[in-house]
């Protein structure tokens, strides 16, 4: 049997009738690094808060490490799950040790076990030399590492991070990614949310994509590539905008969708049953439009945008 760390079944959470999470089902396998990806407002934080038992779902079931999350399971979650919230706020006048002590006690460590656990945890995140530093003096990257340190101080089986890369520079992002990979290698299951695919693509083993409260994808990065490969994305630049190339696009049945991405440049979603580039060039040429460049766009960001973009957000058909 496959071991499951988080199981969400038909989860629905409404705010005044608005469905922030809409019949979401997903499974996070033990030992995985599972990404939860979706644009702002997709429902990621709401889902995470339901998993932690902070919010009560309107419908559906959440199980964490085999235990159904309900009103009385707060203590179980605190002891077994580490949580790095989105935009964490910590008292700036406390020093690193004091903050760690508060979290360690809240997460079930006895006062006599605290010191060694705190030192070990700060060592893991590379903050051993900041023990006495005031939190207000830490850099953003150091603060984020402190938040990870508090989340692992009680050696949880499952670590949940909500948008841990926000506000970090590229170097800070790499540091946190390395840290996550190390924690995963030492046996921790990681569930991590982000609205940027780039931040997740090289560390996650599995991915759930949410859009408007619903799951639109679940699988690994390879599956994402296959799922979304029904379209070829072409970037086309023309010499001038009159006549309007979009009029030509709208008449070509092999173009599924299109959008203007900057002056004189368009992104086209083409059927993949054959190569339509020649036909497209001829159609534009015969309408008096000169193409100055044409290239196929195939990075993962495109695949992701395509997955959510083709659900009604684009111009075109
Ligand atoms: N407490 C609340 N009361 C009312 N509406 C809420 C509340 N929390 C979230 N929402 C709404 O629910 C939707 C989902 O919000 P949520 O914070 O879960 O999205 P998200 O995917 O985490 O977005 P982001 O990437 O911006 O963090 C949004 O439309 C948001 O405005
Ligand atoms: Mg959020």
Domain ranges of the chain: 4-225, 228-309
Q: Which residues contact 50 (CB under 8 A, 6 or more apart)?
A: 8, 11, 13, 21, 56, 57, 62, 69
The atom of ligand 1 lying closest to the CA of 16 is: 4
Regarding the beta carbon of 256 and ligand 1, being less than 6 Å apart is answered no
* Cα three-residue angle 37-40-45, rounded to 5 degrees: 65
Residue-level pLDDT at 165: 93
- Is the shortest distance between the CB of 194 and ligand 1 below 6 Å? no
Write the CATH number of the domain with boundaries 4-225: 3.40.50.300
- Asked whether 20 lines ligand 1 (CB < 6 A), one says yes
Do the domains 4-225 and 228-309 sit in the same CATH topology, yes or no?
no
pLDDT in the model for residue 230: 67
Average pLDDT, the chain: 90
What is the pLDDT at residue 314? 40
Pairing of strands 291-297, 231-238: antiparallel
pLDDT tens by residue, the chain, 317 residues: 669 999 999 999 999 999 999 999 999 999 999 999 998 899 999 999 999 999 999 999 999 999 999 988 889 999 999 999 998 888 999 999 999 999 999 999 999 999 999 999 999 999 999 999 999 999 999 999 999 999 999 999 999 999 999 988 899 999 999 999 999 999 999 999 998 888 898 899 999 999 889 998 888 877 776 666 667 788 999 999 999 999 999 999 999 888 898 999 998 988 877 889 999 999 999 999 999 999 886 666 666 776 666 544 443 33
* Ligand 1, atom 27: closest residue by C-alpha: 40
Of all atoms in ligand 1, which is nearest to the CA of residue 46?
18
Q: Which pLDDT does position 317 carry in this prediction?
A: 33
Question: Residue with structure tokens 């497209």?
Answer: 280
CA-to-CA distance for 150 and 3, rounded, in angstroms?
A: 26
Quote the CA–CA distance of 221 and 24 in Å, as a whole number: 20
The per-residue pLDDT for 72 is 84
| CA 51–ligand 2 middle distance (angstroms) | 14
Ligand 1 binding pocket mutation candidate from 36, 46, 58 (most atoms within 8 A of CB):
46
Gap from CA of 96 to ligand 2 centroid (Å):
26
Which residue minimizes the CA distance to atom 17 of ligand 1? 45
- The ligand minimizing its distance to the Cα of 210 is 1
Q: Is 43 in the pocket of ligand 1 (CB under 6 A)?
A: yes
Do the Cβ atoms of 159 and 152 come closer than 8 Å? yes
pTM of this structure: 0.79
Q: How far is the CA of 184 from the centre of ligand 1 (A)?
A: 28
- Determine the topology of domain 228-309 in CATH: Alpha-Beta Plaits (3.30.70)
Distance 38 CA to ligand 2 centre (A): 9
Nearest-angstrom CA–CA distance, 150 and 135: 13
């Amino acid at each position: 049997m496959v071991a499951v760390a988080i199981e969400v079944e038909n989860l629905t959470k409404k705010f005044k009738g608005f469905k922030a999470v809409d019949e979401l089902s997903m499974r996070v396998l033990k030992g995985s690094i599972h990404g939860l990806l979706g644009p702002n407002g997709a429902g990621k934080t709401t889902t995470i808060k339901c998993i932690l038992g902070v919010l009560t779902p309107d419908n559906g079931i959440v199980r964490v490490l085999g235990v159904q999350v309900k009103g009385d399971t707060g203590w179980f979650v605190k002891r077994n799950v580490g949580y790095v919230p989105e935009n964490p706020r910590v008292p700036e006048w406390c020093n690193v040790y004091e903050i760690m002590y508060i979290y360690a006690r809240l997460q079930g460590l006895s006062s006599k076990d605290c010191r060694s656990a705190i030192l070990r945890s700060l060592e893991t995140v590379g903050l051993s030399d900041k023990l006495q530093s005031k939190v207000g003096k830490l850099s953003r990257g150091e603060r984020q590492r402190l938040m990870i340190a508090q989340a692992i101080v009680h050696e949880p089986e499952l670590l949940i991070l909500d948008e841990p890369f926000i506000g970090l520079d590229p170097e800070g992002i790499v540091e946190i990614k390395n840290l996550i990979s190390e924690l995963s290698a030492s046996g921790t299951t990681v569930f991590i949310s982000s609205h940027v695919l780039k931040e997740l693509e090289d560390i996650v083993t599995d991915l759930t994509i949410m859009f408007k409260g619903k799951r639109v994808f679940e699988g690994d990065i390879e599956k994402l590539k296959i799922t979304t490969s029904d379209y070829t994305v072409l970037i086309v630049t023309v010499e001038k905008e009159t006549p309007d190339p979009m009029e030509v696009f709208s008449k070509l049945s092999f173009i599924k969708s299109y959008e203007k991405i900057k002056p004189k440049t368009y992104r086209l979603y083409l059927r993949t049953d054959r190569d339509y580039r020649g036909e497209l060039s001829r159609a534009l040429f015969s309408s008096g439009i000169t193409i100055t460049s044409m290239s196929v766009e195939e990075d993962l960001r495109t695949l992701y945008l395509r997955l959510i973009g083709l659900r009604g957000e684009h111009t075109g058909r």
